[in-house]
């Protein structure tokens, strides 16, 4: 068994159901169910009676619950004692994420930050990449995951992965519903974020190289509102896969990868040079990298698969 399985077990037992616990823990219910089953197999006993109204503890579950709580208290106390004497891991961290990346990884990052750095405080801000870069240069944030930052002598940008761009709309454009040529975008009615947004520069550059006239009729920076307009049939848009997976886009929209040429954007972890990082900043930054790979890495052409 592992500690996380014990935490899941205690939460399900106290909340009386997998669905409610999954919602509170922000964990998919199938994942939670698998972890509970793995715990049952590890200890060789069934912990819950499962029925239509939820779950109830078996006799073994009732006996195991107070012991599980005792184990978790001991683990938490040990972690606290481990870090209490390390003043290097105290302080305040400010992490910057783009809105779509933040939507995917904030919950998991906050959870793991709290476990790994219980004596530190965390602030997470969501801004466009250009704004995050300005905040980094002004030393207002400690590190950020952002798109294609411009060079800055005091900062190090580590490439995390590349994303394809996709045309999104209520109907397919061109002969194939899974892909669309750049040439097919000529004159197509589009709703797009304003110019600083990550999708605009590579899209406009590709269109210019191939003499494609982009018809951008609306500019909307709020990604959820942008997808609402697309779903309502106002226009098509161009999006990254991470944004499409961030629960903003409706599942019935048609998503076509842009090809001939393929258009990509790059995601970076940007921070001060290693020699300028405090131990707390270094641990928090490395944790952000690990959480990015676990939550967003499968949506990009990953450059690495580092773990924390």
Greater pLDDT, 20 or 302: 20
Q: Are 130 and 138 in contact (CB under 8 A)?
A: no
Task: Work out the burial of residue 8: count CB atoms within 10 Å of its CB; fewer than 13 is exposed, 13-18 middle, 19 or more buried.
Answer: buried
CB 174 within 8 A of CB 258: no
> In whole angstroms, how far apart are CA 233 and each of 223, 240, 246?
16, 19, 20
The pLDDT of residue 290 is 95
Within a 10 A sphere around the Cβ of 47, how many other Cβ atoms?
23
In angstroms, the CA 166 to CA 172 distance is: 11
Percent of the chain with pLDDT over 90: 59
Mean pLDDT of the chain: 88
Q: If we measure between CA atoms, which residue out of 86, 175, 98 comes closest to residue 133? A: 98
Bridge-based pairing state of the strands 48-51 and 54-57: antiparallel
pLDDT tens, residue by residue, 70-86: 998 888 777 766 655 56
CA proximity to 284, closest of 102, 76, 112, 85 = 112
Q: Where are the beta strands (DSSP E) in the chain?
A: 48-51, 54-57, 91-97, 120-126, 143-147, 155-169, 179-181, 189-192, 215-219, 237-240, 254-259, 264-272, 301-302
- Which H or E run includes 278? none
Q: How far is CA 276 from CA 70, 123, 162, 280, in A?
A: 41, 20, 27, 12
Phi, psi of 180 (to 5 degrees): -150, 135
Cα angle value 282/286/135 (rounded, 5°): 70
Residue tagged 């001939």 (tokens) = 260
* Confidence label for 304 from pLDDT (cuts 50, 70 and 90): very low
Q: Among candidates 178, 181, 145, 176, which has minimal Cα distance to 300?
A: 145
The pLDDT, as a whole number, for residue 302 is: 54
Contact indicator for 134, 87 with CB cutoff of 8 Å: no
Q: Is the CB of residue 269 less than 8 Å from the CB of residue 145? A: yes
How confident is residue 252, by pLDDT bands cut at 50, 70 and 90? confident
| Residue range 132-147, pLDDT digits in tens | 999 998 899 999 999 9
Helix/strand/coil (H/E/C) assignment for every residue in 111-179: HHHHHHCCCEEEEEEECCHHHHHHHHHCCCCCEEEEECCCCCCCEEEEEEEEEEEEEEECCCCCCCCCE
The pLDDT tens digits of the residues spanning 191-231 come to 999 887 888 889 999 999 999 999 999 999 888 889 999 99
Distance CA 70, CA 9 (A): 13
């Amino acid at each position: 068994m592992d500690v996380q399985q014990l935490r899941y077990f205690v939460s399900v037992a106290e909340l009386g159901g997998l669905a409610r616990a999954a919602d509170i823990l922000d964990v998919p219910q199938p994942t939670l169910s698998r972890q509970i089953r793995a715990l049952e197999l590890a200890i060789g006993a069934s912990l819950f009676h499962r029925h239509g109204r939820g779950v109830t503890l078996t006799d073994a579950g009732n006996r195991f619950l107070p012991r599980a709580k005792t184990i978790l208290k001991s683990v938490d106390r040990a972690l606290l004692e481990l870090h209490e004497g390390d003043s290097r891991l105290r302080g305040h961290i400010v992490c910057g994420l783009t809105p779509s990346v933040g939507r995917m990884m904030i919950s998991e990052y906050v959870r793991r930050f709290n476990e790994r750095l219980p004596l530190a405080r965390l602030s997470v801000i969501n801004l466009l990449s250009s704004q995050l870069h300005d905040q980094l240069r002004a030393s207002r944030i400690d590190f950020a995951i952002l798109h294609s930052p411009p060079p800055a002598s005091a900062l190090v940008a580590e490439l995390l992965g590349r994303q394809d761009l996709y045309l999104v709309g209520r109907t397919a454009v061109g002969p194939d519903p899974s892909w669309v040529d750049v040439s097919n975008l000529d004159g197509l009615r589009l709703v797009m974020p304003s110019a600083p947004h990550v999708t605009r520069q590579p899209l406009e550059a590709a269109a210019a190289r191939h003499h494609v006239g982009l018809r951008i009729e609306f500019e909307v920076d709020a990604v959820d509102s942008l997808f609402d307009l697309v779903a309502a049939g106002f226009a098509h848009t161009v999006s990254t896969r991470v944004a499409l997976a961030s629960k903003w886009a409706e599942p019935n929209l048609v998503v076509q990868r842009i090809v001939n040429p393929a258009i990509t954007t790059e995601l970076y972890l940007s921070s001060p040079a290693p020699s300028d990082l405090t131990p707390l900043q270094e641990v928090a930054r490395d944790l952000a990298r690990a959480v990015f790979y676990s939550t967003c890495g499968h949506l990009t052409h990953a450059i690495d698969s580092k773990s924390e």
